[in-house]
Structure 1
């Protein structure tokens, strides 16, 4: 029986700027490391490969040296062949592109990669060039979400979901191929609170709607009256719990709340409010944890979901780490200390898909799974399921 040839690439620094509020990794990896950020891409890639562990005898992994894939695959016991050697202390876009060329030369069945939108752009460039030169269909590609920004439609919704899709291919189940858009944004504008996304092409992806995310919705909420009602409800809760420290997550819905409070807001960051006054803007994970430790009272969290995807953790708010979320739900009230705000229109757009908590911490995700209340207006809430990632 022929072996399944799995091409495997990790961008080791993907997402490294998230926890330290740099909103990306492009050109800021050294700064992120100096601020204490810890690389997480290998951990997230391992979650995908663990799903495939029962099929080791059927899979040959073609990958890159060290933290670009070799270490992760070898530690999990896969038959691993290094086809690209990076010579750099810190890998670059050139390494990703050269690695893809090596994988294509080895005629892999799929390229599974861990990274963000920048990594997807690098891979799409080479895959497209190879297809133009050699003709024929493109090799399928699937992303393991590991970056700060995941706007592209070439990613699985969670690392484990990526493993599930490849598992279907290994088992020769029917998997539909579809075009997934490769999107990216200008990170320099992103750090100023401006989202300017651009389409850079498409790649063939194994499309299973349960496991692969849609392209992120780029539009802002337009129903101002509904948003005013949601904000009024949260502000009333704040008044009732004046001693609590309120952590305000990223997104346009939470930005509307901050505007109603008359406070400066970090659209793509995490802010802190106490007694309806601003404590600090755009906090890193470490800064947020320090404030929580110093605060004598309870802490509350106000978040929204990412339109079109349903993520409440793990997309654009990596500052909200497992230890912070765990601290919040360990207080009296449990999960009710997390206020999720969204319009019913935004929930309806999920087409009954559950909300997703992608923290990378399996025990925490189990604790968050089940039904949670979502504030959709003034004194108006709906119960909505939160799923433990596949």
Structure 2
């Protein structure tokens, strides 16, 4: 019987949809709740664990009381045992580290955790390379290479492990951003260590690529293409990232590097929008287009750093009103892996799967699979 340790950061990702660009610390969590944020880590963990229900008699969980693991496992009907520790509310990074330490001291085969880079950093600090791990992506910042590409993918890796299929264990980087700098549109990432990660095929993501591409002419061509095609009285939601920033530069408008801006008739309408603010704009404007880029190295279109585009936002927009831009260098860097949508709604992700047109230059585009 396989023993899985489970740690859920119940507040992971809570700042994403409300534009806080992170969830680290009690003050950020408090502000997120004030802005109407909802906790999603439990449901994303549920999606990851659902494939394991078919082999529930072959596994047992070690976990923590309450929302850090027990509540979900009990609801799903899994067999579990609790470590001797009661976390605070709201739980803190110290609680995560304490539970990780207790799980490491017991006969845990794989430590599974739901969170973002901050959670991975906490676990790495305690676990290091002593125990195989696998992350369930539930945070705002997910740059580390220790996560499944989606919650469902994390579950598939664990299922293969339980069924006795070939599963690799490889070292992967744990990286994290400075959230305060992140909120000021400054990307400051550093490596905090490595952990041994269970992997299978393309189910586990690469480390997010950092830095700025030198293909300035390509980005200028992409921007010119998008701006040329902009229609009057259509609301354009410009997503985060250096690639999309080229569009705002072409329009000579101030931009939010790591947020979502709204443009109407080539004028700036609003900056750094939260999910709720985007929803309000969608109710006011009949026609709307979202322009987003691809996360280099990972291939995510939605679900990494742009949680403001929630499932209800995406359903309201419709796939036909999505414009994806990327350099061919980024596409080539995926080495044949598909683009990824990880919206938090598996049904929506499945509906949007298939071929996606990607703008790669002026009057230049290609089609690429979206999984």
TM value normalised by structure 2:
0.98
The residue aligned with 1:301 is 290
Matches within 5 A, 1:185-334: 185-238=177-230, 241-295=231-285, 297-329=286-318
1:138 to 130, 140, 158: 130
What is the aligned partner in structure 1 of residue 162 from structure 2? Answer: 170
Aligned residues: 369
How far did residue 26 of structure 1 move? 1.1
- The ranges of structure 1 where at least 4 consecutive aligned residues each deviate by more than 3 angstroms after the TM superposition are none
| Whole-Å separation in 2 of the counterparts to 1:84 and 1:32 | 30
Please give the secondary structure, in 1, of the residue aligned with 2:206: coil
Alignment of 1:79-94 (within 5 A): 79-94=79-94
Query: 1:253 and 1:24 mapped to 2: Cα distance?
Result: 21
Aligned CA distance change for structure 1 residues 87 and 216 (closer, same or farther; 3 Å): closer
Cα deviation digits, residues 14-42 of structure 1 (max 9, x gap): 11100110000112011101110001111
Following TM superposition, by how much is the alpha carbon of 1:118 offset from its aligned partner in structure 2, in angstroms?
0.7
Structure 1 gap ranges (5+) = 129-136, 330-334
Q: 2-side partners of 1:84 and 1:255: how far apart? A: 49
Give yes or no for contact 1:121–1:200 (8 Å, CA) kept in 2: yes
- Residue-by-residue CA offset, 1:62-99 (whole Å, 9 max, x unaligned): 11111101111111110011114334120001110111
Q: Residue 181 of structure 1 aligns to a residue in which SS?
A: strand
2:109 is the counterpart of 1:109:
yes
Question: 1:262-296: CA deviations, max 9, x gaps?
Answer: 1111111111000000000000000111111122x
Aligned with 2:139 (options 147, 157, 162): 147
TM-score (norm 1): 0.93
CA contact (8 A) 1:10 1:113 kept: yes
SS of 1:52's equivalent?
A: helix
Which residue of 2 is the match for residue 134 of structure 1?
Answer: none
Give structure 2 stretches of 5+ with no counterpart.
none
